[in-house]
Amino acid sequence: QVQLVEPGGGLVQAGGSLRLSCAASGRTYSGYAMGWFRQAPGKERKFVAAISWRSGSTYYADSVKGRFTISRDNAKNTVYLQMNSLKPEDTAVYYCAAQSGYYYTLTRAYDYWGQGTQVTVSS
């Protein structure tokens, strides 16, 4: 089992920035690709960004490309999501997730999920 904890989140004005973190514990963190997803009220959970384990390659949804940056610190078993130029439509509950495979954008490919953290962007 891998446990994922996401402190952070919060309220920010449009155009502002926020950094989310996700700390992994339990079974070895190594070998897992990490992803961030978000879910707005009444909508399905959607892919935001992912980072591979070996090469550190990154992948982004078109809606956040150029504004969000995913990174990981393997020594600290932590993955980050730096969110800049935030928009009201970025408001959602953000989840981090881990998988041992390679289907980085697929929700169902992820084995472990954090509890989620609320991000609210005011206009």
Structure confidence at residue 29 (pLDDT) = 59
Distance CA 43, CA 73 (A): 31
Average pLDDT of the segment spanning 20-36: 85
> How is residue 22 written in tokens?
């996700």
- Reduced to 3 states (helix: H, G, I; strand: E, B; else coil), residue 90 is helix
- Reduced to 3 states (helix: H, G, I; strand: E, B; else coil), residue 89 is helix
Q: How far apart are the first and last CA of the chain?
A: 40
Q: What are phi and psi of 2, to 5 degrees?
A: -120, 125
Give the other-Cβ count within 10 Å of 12's Cβ: 17
**What are the tens digits of pLDDT across the range 44-83?**
999 999 999 888 899 999 999 999 999 999 888 899 999 9
**Inter-residue contact 6 to 74 (CB < 8 Å):** no
> How is residue 94 written in tokens?
């953000």
